[in-house]
Amino acid sequence: MLTLRFVAVVGLMMVLVGCGMAPPAKPTASFRELAGTWEGRYILPSGEPGPLWEYTIGEDGQMRFTRSELPVEGTRQLQLRDGSVVYDDSMFWSGVLTLHEVEGRHILKDVARQKRNGAVFTGEFTLKQ
């Protein structure tokens, strides 16, 4: 019993330390910080990686998005709100983009919510070289 309790406590400590090491999002003051072409994938609600997406973000907050597999493309206007970048397409999607720095690389994360059913898709994007 003591061994099981010890393992549980050590496991909990490892989880808490691991969560504490995740880099926090950098507050975003302007779209200039996000300007460029980003490439990445969403993790689907099933846990599977989705198709490759490309986001091109302008200094004015206009974002053009494309997906090559089952082609989709379009634009959306991003908004700055309390240090975060948000979007809210009237009928389909809303989400929050956050900028992180991991080992000297910029990572753009998107937590998107599908309005029709509330499904959440989390995407991670890197600047395209």
CATH code of the domain in which 34 resides: 2.40.128.20
Domain total in the chain: 1
Q: Does the predicted TM-score (pTM) go above 0.85?
A: no
Tell me if 18 is assigned to some domain. no
Residues spanned by the domain of 116 = 26-127
Amino acid at 24: P
Other CB atoms within a 10 A radius of the CB of residue 125 amount to: 22
Asked whether residue 121 is assigned to any structural domain, the reply reads: yes
Whether 120 is covered by a domain: the verdict is yes
The helix or strand, by DSSP H or E, that contains position 3, with its residue range, turns out to be helix 2-20
Q: What is the pLDDT of residue 91?
A: 83
Asked if residue 16 is part of any domain, the answer here is no
Q: Measured on CA atoms in the order 78, 85, 122, 34, is the torsion positive or negative? A: positive
For the ranges 12-16, 41-45, 88-92, the maximum mean pLDDT occurs at 41-45
Q: Enter the DSSP assignment of 27.
A: P
- 6-27: per-residue pLDDT in tens? 333 334 344 333 444 457 787 8
Query: Is there a domain that residue 100 lies in?
Result: yes
In a domain, residue 2? The reply is no
Within a domain: 73: yes
Reported as a pLDDT band with limits 50, 70 and 90, residue 120 is very high
With respect to residue 115, please indicate whether it lies within any of the assigned structural domains: yes
